[in-house]
Amino acid sequence: MAKALIPLVEGFEDIEAVTVIDVLRRGGVEVVTASLTDELAVRSSHGITMTADAAFDVAAEEDFDVVVLPGGPGTDRLKVEPVFARLRRQKEDGKLIAAICAAPTVLVEAGVLDPEQHVTCYPSCIMDLDRPCASAPVVEDGGVITGQAPGAALLFALVVLKALMGEGVARKVARGLVTDVL
C-alpha cells in the first residue's frame, strides 16, 4: 500500500490539505498527517481545527511514497530544518514530492528542486521562486508535483493519486466524485 505524509502547520490551507487527504484515502493510500508542534490539534487558515495523526518528528522517520505540502498563510511554518531534511531524504530515495499554492517555495528553500524543473505556485509567490513559474493548475516534472492554488486542489490530489496508484485508480476515484478534472 502506498503511504503519504502530510505535514500540518497553523494556518494551512483547508481545501488543499483536506482534499488531498480525502482523495488519497479514497484511492487506498495510507495517509499520515503530522503536526510540527507538540500539539496534535492544528488550526487551519479558516479556523477549522484538525487533529493530526502523529507528531512530525516521529512520523518523518518512517518511509513514505510521497510527502505532500499544503500551502496557505502558514506556509512559512513549513520552512524549518526538520521539513527540509525530510524533503531531502525523499528526493535522495527517489520518492515523490508534492506541494501546492505557496508550498513550492518550501521546496526551493529545502533545495530539492533541480535547476531545470518546472513548477507552478500561487501567483503572489512567483517572486519567491528561483525559476519561472507555469500558469498551469498542476505541473508534474521529475518526481515533483506542484499545484497552483486552492482551486486546483482536486486536480492536484488526483494527479498525486495517479502517480502513486496508477491512472485506473485515479479515474475510479474521479468518477466516484463525479468530476472530469482528470
Which residues are part of the catalytic machinery? 101
Q: In which residue are the cell numbers 519567491 written?
A: 128
Measured CA to CA in angstroms, residue 142 lies from 49, 86, 109, 145, 157 at distances of 34, 18, 18, 8, 17
CB 145 within 8 A of CB 133: no
Name the residue with cell 528542486. Answer: 113
From the list 95, 93, 107, 75, the residue with the least C-alpha distance to 9 is: 75
Residue 111 to residue 90: CA distance in whole angstroms: 12
Characterize the bridge pairing of strands 144-147 and 96-100.
parallel
Residue 102 and residue 79: Cα distance in Å, rounded? 11
